[in-house]
């Protein structure tokens, strides 16, 4: 056991319980087998400030209080929601049991697709409704997925048009798409905007007996609700027959909360573009070559359709 993990467990009074590493992606996540299982997160260095993580935890607590199935923060012995330990920020959340909606990048065969996506659409709509009903504290600090956050000089997920593995033609296409989309997005009036998960790929969904659990709010912040929906819809495109699943998701959302879908294709393109930036600092990780190829192909295809 690492010194950081041991110190963190002691801060929460969990040093007597087994800790098992269950995820090692953006953060290191450990399952703590206490009488009520917990998830301890060691956050990637430099990814989020303490203020941003506190805001994430306060938001998740508010959603859980309002009945949404999200991990509930567990305070440390001193009442704090997170601590800095050895240069890493640590927090602890309630453990949610469920069947992963995604397995190997596709819908888990143990999950019934249409009803699961209907439920996910309803859950996302509830997330938006419950977030709108909550007033964040003045100190609330989360990413902003607005026109500048998506397409400006310093996008949240990086300069997608400068991905070093793009060909000259691909870079020119994505640059043109960026300019076109920025003009459209900047001119968009009255768009549905508020707190969003921003990364509700099916890898961040567990299917429980009462419906989906929504996890991993690392990228959550202020943004367009259609952008949140686009994340799910683009992921579904990996399936052999995506149309019924996409329709089920949209139907589930609209049955719970109205939203104007007119600009949905634009936001699907924006989501596709963002992944070409996201992959850049991860190009040396396992599986990055396949991800890069998939992200670039989708982004170029959607960019061409948008410009046409």
SS3 annotation, the chain: CCHHHHHHHHHCCCCCCCEEEEEECCCEEEEECCCCCEEEEECCCCCCCHHHHHHHHHHHHHHHHCCCCCCCECCCCCCCCEEEECCEEEEEEECCCCEECEECCEECCCCCHHHHHHHHHHHHHHHHHHHHCCCCCCCCCCCEECHHHHHCCCCCCCCHHHCCCCCHHHHHHHHHHHHHHHHHHHCCCCCCEEEECCCCCHHHEEEECCEEEECCCCCCEEEEHHHHHHHHHHHHCCCCCHHHHHHHHHHHHHCCCCCCCCCHHHHHHHHHHHHHHHCHHHCCCCCHHHHHHHHHHHHHHHHHHHHC
| Same domain flag for 107 and 198 | yes
Q: In this structure, what CATH number is given to the domain that contains residue 260?
A: 3.90.1200.10
- pTM above threshold 0.85: yes
Pick from 69, 96, 123: which residue ends a domain?
96
pLDDT beneath 70: ranges in the chain? 1
- Judgement on whether residues 107 and 72 belong to the same structural domain of the protein: no
- Residue 122 shares a structural domain with residue 245: yes
**pLDDT the model gives residue 1:** 58
Question: How many domains is the chain partitioned into structurally?
Answer: 2
pLDDT of residue 45: 84
Q: Is 135 exposed, middle or buried (0-12, 13-18, 19+ CB in 10 A)?
A: exposed
At 24 the pLDDT is: 87
> Do 230 and 146 share a structural domain?
yes
CA triple 158-162-164, angle to 5 deg: 110
Considering the domain architecture, whether residues 124 and 262 belong to the same structural domain is answered as yes
In this structure, are strands 144-145 and 211-214 parallel, antiparallel, or unpaired?
unpaired
Judge if 43 and 132 occupy the same domain. Answer: no
List beta partners, residue 102: 107
Q: Of 96, 130, 158, which closes a domain?
A: 96
Residue 97 zone, left/alpha/beta (φ > 0; ψ -120 to 50; rest): beta
pLDDT value at position 104? 87
pLDDT in tens, 55-111: 999 999 999 999 999 999 999 999 999 999 988 999 999 999 999 999 988 999 999
Q: Answer yes or no: do 14 and 66 share one domain.
A: yes
Clarify whether residues 274 and 183 are in a common domain: yes
48: domain CATH number?
Answer: 3.30.200.20
Together in a domain, 123 and 218? yes
Residues 256 and 282 in one domain: yes
- 126 and 258 part of one domain: yes
Structural tokens at position 175: 């640059």
Residue 55's domain comprises 3-96
Do 281 and 203 lie in one domain? The reply is yes
Which one of 73, 96, 119 terminates a domain?
A: 96
List pLDDT tens digits, range 18-41. 999 998 888 999 999 999 999 999
What is the widest separation between alpha-carbon atoms in the chain?
A: 61
């Amino acid at each position: 056991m690492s010194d950081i993990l041991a110190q963190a467990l002691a801060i929460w009074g969990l040093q007597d319980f087994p800790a098992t590493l269950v995820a090692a992606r953006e953060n290191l996540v450990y399952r703590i087998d206490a009488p009520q299982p917990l998830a301890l997160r060691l956050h990637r260095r430099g990814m989020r400030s303490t203020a941003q993580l506190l805001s994430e935890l306060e938001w998740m607590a508010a959603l859980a209080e309002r009945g949404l199935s999200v991990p509930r923060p567990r305070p440390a012995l001193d009442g704090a929601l997170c601590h800095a330990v050895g240069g890493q920020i640590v927090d602890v959340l309630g453990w949610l049991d469920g069947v992963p909606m995604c397995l190997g990048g596709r819908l888990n065969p143990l999950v019934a697709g249409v009803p699961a996506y209907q439920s996910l659409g309803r859950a996302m709509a509830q997330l938006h409704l419950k977030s709108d009903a909550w007033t964040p504290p003045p100190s609330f600090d989360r990413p902003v997925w607005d026109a500048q956050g998506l397409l400006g000089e310093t996008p949240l997920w990086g300069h997608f048009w400068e991905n070093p593995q793009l060909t000259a033609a691909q870079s020119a296409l994505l640059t043109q798409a960026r300019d076109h989309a920025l003009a459209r997005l900047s001119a968009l009036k009255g768009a549905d905007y508020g707190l969003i998960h921003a990364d509700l790929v099916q890898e961040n969904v567990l299917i429980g007996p009462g419906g989906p659990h929504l996890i991993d709010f690392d990228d959550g912040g202020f943004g367009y609700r259609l952008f949140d929906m686009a994340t799910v819809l683009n992921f579904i495109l990996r399936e052999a027959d995506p149309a019924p699943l996409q329709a089920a998701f949209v139907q589930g959302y609209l049955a719970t909360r109205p939203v104007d879908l007119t600009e949905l294709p634009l936001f699907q393109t924006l989501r596709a573009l963002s992944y070409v930036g996201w992959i850049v600092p991860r190009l040396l990780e396992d599986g990055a070559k396949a991800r890069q190829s998939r992200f670039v192909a989708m982004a170029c295809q959607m960019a061409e359709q948008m410009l046409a």
